[in-house]
A = this chain, B = another copy of it.
């Protein structure tokens, strides 16, 4: 169990981040731009807008919600439009799909080659990509017991985030 002080610290971190979320978006966009330039890929207006919408919150974005929002700022938008952009962004590692929600989220570490592992709050929907590669090596171990070679991983942990625990569940430490 974590100490109360640590718990409070985490909550503060989280609140501070929420105040500065525009930084996340800017960072994500400039990284994407750089990354596409390096690969000789075109980071078009459409792709930029979709990535921007995906990053609008730290929550999973549904394709048809993106479609609706996008329609309000651009004409001739169909499902294909959104899915094509999402495919492009996923191929470049800029966006992950959350399989258990049929939703999409911006990658917070697009400079490394990885499968996303996520913590998803069932109360507030906030989603966090785990930055820890220990998980992958643990899973490798488990797979090796069966002589199985992993190519990609879907890891989505549903539960309560640090802010929602006092409201909806057991708190970490009273």
A residues lining the B interface (CB < 8 Å): 2, 6-7, 10, 99-100, 117, 119, 121-122, 128, 130, 132, 134-135, 138-139, 142-162, 165, 169-170, 172
Contact = CB atoms under 8 A, between A and B. Distances in A.
Contacts of A169: 149
A30 B158 CA distance: 31
B135 A148 contact: no
Given A121-B148, A151-B159, A153-B156, 11 more contacts: A10-B146, A122-B151, A128-B146, A130-B142, A146-B162, A147-B162, A148-B162, A149-B159, A149-B169, A153-B155, A153-B157
Give the interface SS of chain A, mostly helix, strand, loop or mixed. mixed
Contacts of A151: 122, 158-160
- Report the 10 A-B pairs with minimum CB-CB distance, sorted nearest first: A154-B156, A147-B162, A99-B99, A99-B100, A150-B159, A151-B159, A138-B138, A149-B160, A10-B147, A119-B148
B152 A158 contact: yes
A169 B66 CA distance: 38
Nearest to A8: B147
